[in-house]
Amino acid sequence: MIHKPREKRSLVDWRERLTRGGELLHEFYRGRHRGALARERRQEDDLFMLLVFSEMMGIENPSSYYTLELLPLLYEGFHEWHIRMGMDHSPLEHFRCC
Amino acid sequence: MNSLPLEGHSILFVGGKGGVGKSTTAASLAVHLADSGEQILLVSTDPAHSLGDLFGTSIGDRKREIIPGLHALEIDPGQEVERYLARVKKSMRHYVQPAMYSEIERQIELTRHSPGSEEAALMDRVTTLMEEGTTSHDRIIFDTAPTGHTLRLLALPEIMAAWTTGLLKSRDRSASLGKAVDRLRGREKASGDELAWFDDVKEKVTDERTQKIQEVLLERRRRFSRARRLLLDPETTAFILVLIPEKLPILESEKTLKVLKQHKVPVAGMVVNRTLPNNQALGEFLESRRSQEAEYLQQIEKAFPKLPRVQIPLLSRDVQGINALREVAQHLLIDR
């Protein structure tokens, strides 16, 4: 490894580092807000999934017939959903997605 | 108080306890109105259809002309379920990867046999007919299933409208949170993110789905709300309660009336069916029935003091065919 002489890492280098540090800090705060909002949105979507799929979970749902037409639209999110709900495999015997 | 006020009502429900003569009443009403020049659609919602037998012909799930001005159909919820499932399968092919077809199809098959499906399909059909039937015909007359079944059918639009509204609210919240997240990410993209392009494509797909979900739910709610509005409009809808002068039908009619009031369904009047003829000597046996009947008629008078009421006497033969229905209709005095 070739080391640059100490004197040459001076001002320009530090300025760069500070700018970079500022950006990271900025990103850190923005990321936290974004994370919180994204999490809340995911929770809302999870609730929606639960409302639509509740009949399959054994919770009586008066509208399961009517929401069947949502199934093709929601199916691809189904896998992520049951993993997030803490179930490694699909909770529904007859509804295998993994 | 001895005529049925049906001026301008375009949706009539004929209901009552099993075996009191709902179909006969509905059919003779339909024949009578068609004879007086109206375009009538007569619809049976009872899973055990009897309109066909009454007219001495086979009617099916599709509209059939019985006499000029009168069409009839008997809803087959099974067929309605099939049509719906076929529609869902078609939309599946648009949105789902082929590898997943079989799993979704399994789910669709299960719905075919799940207990609430036929009821839901029946309501779907009834609400559609309420909209279509009133544009293609002057009136639509529903010959309903025995009371409990029908009350549930009338209450369902309210429940379902509330349900879809809840689902839509959840979608709205999700969408506005999504927008907030996007705004924060938007600035990040500007600061140069090579992977942003992938996000864009993925988002477009998700947006299309989100919008479609929204559309499906909105259409559902629109249909339920409209059915409910029609159902509760006393200028449009009239419920006609049929009973016979006996203890159990009277008691059940009281309960029905209470529930109809609870759900604010407008009731136009009552048909008291199969009263013993007045002007004939009946012999000892039937005279004793007649004195009991007089008590029940009084009881009806007392229990439903404000309700318009007509009586159809017991006929010498059972009611079969158009002419017999016309004969019955002479007793149904209608203000139209």
Say yes or no for a CB contact (<8 Å) between A70 and B213: yes
Flag whether A96 is in a domain: no
Clarify whether residues B132 and B274 are in a common domain: yes
Clarify whether residues B176 and B51 are in a common domain: no
Clarify whether residues B263 and B205 are in a common domain: no
Is A39's Cβ below 8 Å from some Cβ in B? no
Q: Is the model more confident about A43 or about B240?
A: B240
- The structural domain count of chain A equals 1
Q: Which of A61-65, A89-93, B38-42, B328-332 has the lowest mean pLDDT?
A: A89-93
Clarify whether residues B185 and B247 are in a common domain: no
A70: nearest CB among B108, B117, B216: B216
The per-residue pLDDT for B152 is 77
Give the closest residue to B289 by CA, choosing from B273, B279, B277.
Answer: B277
- The distance from CA B112 to its chain's CA centroid, rounded to whole angstroms, is 21
Does ipTM top 0.90? Answer: no
Dihedral sign from CA coordinates of A21, A22, A25, A27: negative
Question: Residue B321, by phi and psi: left (phi above 0), alpha (psi -120 to 50) or beta?
Answer: left
Is A32's Cβ below 8 Å from some Cβ in B? no
Mean pLDDT of A18-35: 83
Q: With a cut of 70, list the residues of chain B below it in pLDDT.
A: 1, 186-205
Rounded distance between C-alpha atoms, residue B190 and residue B198, angstroms: 15
The per-residue pLDDT for B264 is 87
- The structural domain count of chain B equals 3
Clarify whether residues B30 and B172 are in a common domain: no
The identity of residue B187, as a single letter, is R
The distance of B257 to chain A (nearest Cα, Å) reads 25
Terminal CA-CA length for chain A: 49
Residues of B in contact with A73 (CB under 8 A): 91, 95, 209, 212-213, 216
Say yes or no for a CB contact (<8 Å) between B170 and A51: yes
Rounded distance between C-alpha atoms, residue B140 and residue B273, angstroms: 22
Residues B190-225: tens digit of each pLDDT: 555 555 555 666 666 677 888 888 888 888 888 888
The CATH number of the domain holding residue B54 is: 3.40.50.300
- Residue that terminates a domain, selected from B226, B247, B269: B226
Clarify whether residues B88 and B191 are in a common domain: no
Chain B residue nearest residue A67, CA to CA: B217
Full domain range(s) for residue B89: 84-113
Full domain range(s) for residue A70: 10-84
A34: nearest CB among B166, B185, B209: B185
Give kind and range of the element (H or E) at residue B66. Answer: strand B64-67
How confident is residue A92, by pLDDT bands cut at 50, 70 and 90? low
Phi (first) and psi of residue B140, to 5 degrees: -120, 130
Is residue B90 classed exposed, middle or buried when 0-12, 13-18 and 19+ CB atoms within 10 A define those classes?
A: exposed
Flag whether B209 is in a domain: yes
The per-residue pLDDT for B241 is 95
pTM of the complete model:
0.81
Say yes or no for a CB contact (<8 Å) between B108 and A68: yes
Residues A5-14: tens digit of each pLDDT: 555 667 778 8
Is residue B173 classed exposed, middle or buried when 0-12, 13-18 and 19+ CB atoms within 10 A define those classes?
A: middle
Flag whether B175 is in a domain: yes
The distance of B152 to chain A (nearest Cα, Å) reads 12
Clarify whether residues B59 and B198 are in a common domain: no
The per-residue pLDDT for B202 is 63
Clarify whether residues B136 and B100 are in a common domain: no
Q: List the strands of the sheet with B64-67, edge to edge.
A: B64-67, B70-74, B40-44, B139-143, B11-16, B237-243, B267-275, B309-313
Flag whether B297 is in a domain: no
Q: Roughly what angle, to the nearest 10 degrees, separates helices B196-232 and A71-84?
A: 120
Clarify whether residues B182 and B315 are in a common domain: no
Say yes or no for a CB contact (<8 Å) between A44 and B96: no
A66: nearest CB among B95, B160, B181: B160
The per-residue pLDDT for B284 is 87
Q: Is the model more confident about B120 or about A87?
A: B120
Rounded distance between C-alpha atoms, residue B139 and residue A5, angstroms: 97
The per-residue pLDDT for B201 is 63
